[in-house]
Amino acid sequence: MTDTHCPYCALQCAMTLTPTGPDSVGVSGRDFPTNKGGLCRKGWTSTELLRHPDRLQTPLLKDDDGVHRPVSWEHALGLIRDTVRKVRAQYGADAIGVFGGGGLTNEKAYQLGKFARLALGTSRIDYNGRFCMSSAAAAANRAFGLDRGLPFPLADLGSARTILMLGSNTADTMPPFVQHLQGARDAGGLIIVDPRRSATAQFTADGQGVHLQPAPKTDLALLLGITHVVITEGLVSRPYIAGRTRGYEAITRSVAAWWPERVQAVTGVPAETIRKTAHRLAEPGGTYILTGRGVEQHTNGTDTATAAINLSLLLGLPGTPGSGYGTLTGQGNGQGGREHGQKADQLPGYRKITDPAARKHMAEVWGVPEEAIPGPGLPAVELLASLGKPGGVHCLFVHGANVAVSAPNAATVLDGLRSLDFLVVCDFFLSETAAEADLVLPVLQWAEEEGTMTNLEGRVLRRRKALAPPAGTRSELWIMSRLAELLEAPSSFSDDPETVFTELRAASAGGLADYSGVDYAMLDDGEPAYWPYPTGSNGTPRLFLDRFAHPDGRAVLHPVAPSSVAGVAPRGTLTLATGRLLEHYQSGTQTRRVGDLLATSDSQVIQIHPVTAAGLGITDNAEVEIGNGRGTVTARAQLTTTVRQDTVFLSFHFPGAGNANLLTSDETDPVSGMPEFKTTRVTVRAHRSAGTEAVAV
């Protein structure tokens, strides 16, 4: 038996893998503070993918006819070496790009950043966490001086009397999480903010909480309205504000114009509900404020997350035992993946790449001159926009991401991929991005490798090998170390995860995300390890108990305001929101290959209100076209009152004509680089074959 953790979301549910044959394992839930023995459908079926018939088992090179044909590893690596040298000589080192993923282990994420900067010599590296956590991270760094999704153990939520959750549907995205909401629900204090009546919002029924259903992209105004009440009605924690924060006066001025009645007019949430929400949050007994992608994946996502933090600070929650603020990391290693070097602007330990002290430290760890480390690169959307362009990226490496489906304005991204001189994709299935690749390298799956992950609480966990990988596959650490050797890179590159982790510990030492006191032996013994965990410490399960991470130890209240007030959608359009389904994960590359999951959800579905559908001549289960200037998506209609009449919902798990990101905009948040995924203007009509030209009215 092998104790490990689920390969999917950042909850990182504990599981045990048990041999069921010479080349197969079964899965069972394992008692652990995050999942308490439970698993979701994806976790229960995760082992079905380990020996799936679609599994890639040899390098594949695309020939002149566009067909992928097997080649040897020696040929594949030699071709990469020659191509990198050619592209660098012709265009410069920044013509090489690297796109990473939030599902990579800490070891792979760390070495990928090092590989990009030292072996390839490029600054052009970023990852798909830019589509997930970047706004929340920017807001936390702005306010606290440090970004850790949950700055407290998840189990702390169980004692809360009130939980305000904005823009997160955990009942579908990480089902075992919802048991931690039960205490607040029993106390009638579960408050869910979501334009949809999601599965999580439905937990508030029967007097066990409140569902606030604001108009799309008005979450910031709603938070300012609640904050206005907290300030004007004497609910501020004055001693906390005086002793632990700065910027209070500016906040009072910034929310003065957002009285509840005005906010009602903007959001549709009744003024009296806004007042009651503020008072409930201020009641004693334990209060937590949590945010998710629904309020963050906007062009004002950083400001919206900042507004939620401001509210939590005014109430005295962060760093107070039994209360707090946090954001829910999505991808399996979304936390660790953004800490150790695959972001465009960061070095390991959550260090800024522009910080001279950070560059000096990394140069010493890597044994290279400081000038050998490139400066900041381009955030993900800009990186993808540069593909094939003059002065842009001409050769791209993709690890742990499926940008052909997951990136905004996906048709443009697909054009960019096809315009590259050379595209290398590391994957274990032929994803839609891998299908475009000149060279596909088959890599290991989760149960075939060793390593560490960092879950949504900032807890470092051990991933353990349970069975041997197929003979033709290789670990990404091996690939990077062999290529570094072929490219005559400075420093050393290892294919041994523990060796890489030991170097990561040294690289992170003294940084905000300090892992230096963590080692494999500790994790194998089951000791909890929450970063920062400097050598000689016991780690930090709860952050900010005494001080925040700014030099003066205080949190910063940062005034924010909507750049424009969202209004009614233009005549003839609806607002499209995107998100996840219970059965699927990310771009669906894995979960669409699991029979039991696909049987429940096998194609794109648009959720649309019955009143809206009636006006468009759309019936339940009918084929529908959703379009705008960027593209057209086809889907089957699901009539439901869980969505507003001005809103429709698509998941982002499906490719081709069902790819919701054909419609989304690549406009980004100016602070975080987060794309606008949640509010896209679209027209909706019955499929043309039905003979109608009806549009939204």
How do residues 163-215 score in pLDDT, each as one tens digit?
A: 999 999 999 999 999 999 999 999 999 999 999 999 999 999 888 899 999 99
pLDDT at residue number 691: 44
Structure tokens at 602: 């096998």
Domain with CATH 3.40.50.740 in the chain: 60-131+342-495
Q: Hey, which bits of 443-512 come out as E strands?
A: 451-454, 460-463
* Mean predicted lDDT score pLDDT of the chain: 95
| 26 neighbors 16 (Cβ within 8 angstroms) | no
Q: Supply the CATH classification number for the domain 60-131+342-495.
A: 3.40.50.740
Helix 301-314 and helix 134-144: axis angle, to 10°? 40
Q: 625: helix, coil or strand?
A: strand
pLDDT at residue number 694: 41
Domain with CATH 3.40.228.10 in the chain: 135-327
66 dihedral zone (left: phi>0; alpha: psi -120 to 50; beta): left
| Nearest-angstrom CA–CA distance, 697 and 684 | 10
| 682 neighbors 576 (Cβ within 8 angstroms) | yes
Q: Which helix (H) or strand (E) holds 337?
A: helix 334-337
- Residue among 432, 339, 329, 327 at smallest CA distance from 105: 339
Sign of torsion over alpha carbons 176, 181, 185, 191: negative
| Nearest-angstrom CA–CA distance, 253 and 152 | 31
pLDDT at residue number 23: 87
Q: 612: helix, coil or strand?
A: helix
CB atoms within 10 A of CB 638: 17
| Nearest-angstrom CA–CA distance, 513 and 148 | 9
pLDDT at residue number 571: 74
Classify strands 451-454 and 460-463 as parallel, antiparallel or unpaired: antiparallel
Domain with CATH 2.40.40.20 in the chain: 574-690
Sign of torsion over alpha carbons 236, 239, 240, 242: positive
Tell me which residues of the chain have a pLDDT lower than 70: 564-569, 689-697
pLDDT at residue number 578: 95
Given CATH 3.30.420.40, say whether it is the number of domain 2-49.
no
CATH superfamily for 135-327 is Dimethylsulfoxide Reductase, domain 2 (3.40.228.10)
Domain with CATH 2.20.25.90 in the chain: 2-49
| 688 neighbors 624 (Cβ within 8 angstroms) | no
Sign of torsion over alpha carbons 570, 571, 572, 577: positive
CATH class, 574-690 region: mainly beta
| 175 neighbors 40 (Cβ within 8 angstroms) | yes
pLDDT at residue number 696: 42
Q: Which helix (H) or strand (E) holds 245?
A: strand 245-246
How do residues 371-418 score in pLDDT, each as one tens digit?
A: 999 999 999 999 999 999 999 999 999 999 999 999 999 999 999 999
Q: Which helix (H) or strand (E) holds 684?
A: strand 680-686
Q: pTM to 2 decimals? A: 0.95
**Alpha-carbon distances of 595 from 45, 52, 69, 80, 649, rounded to whole Å:** 9, 11, 27, 36, 24
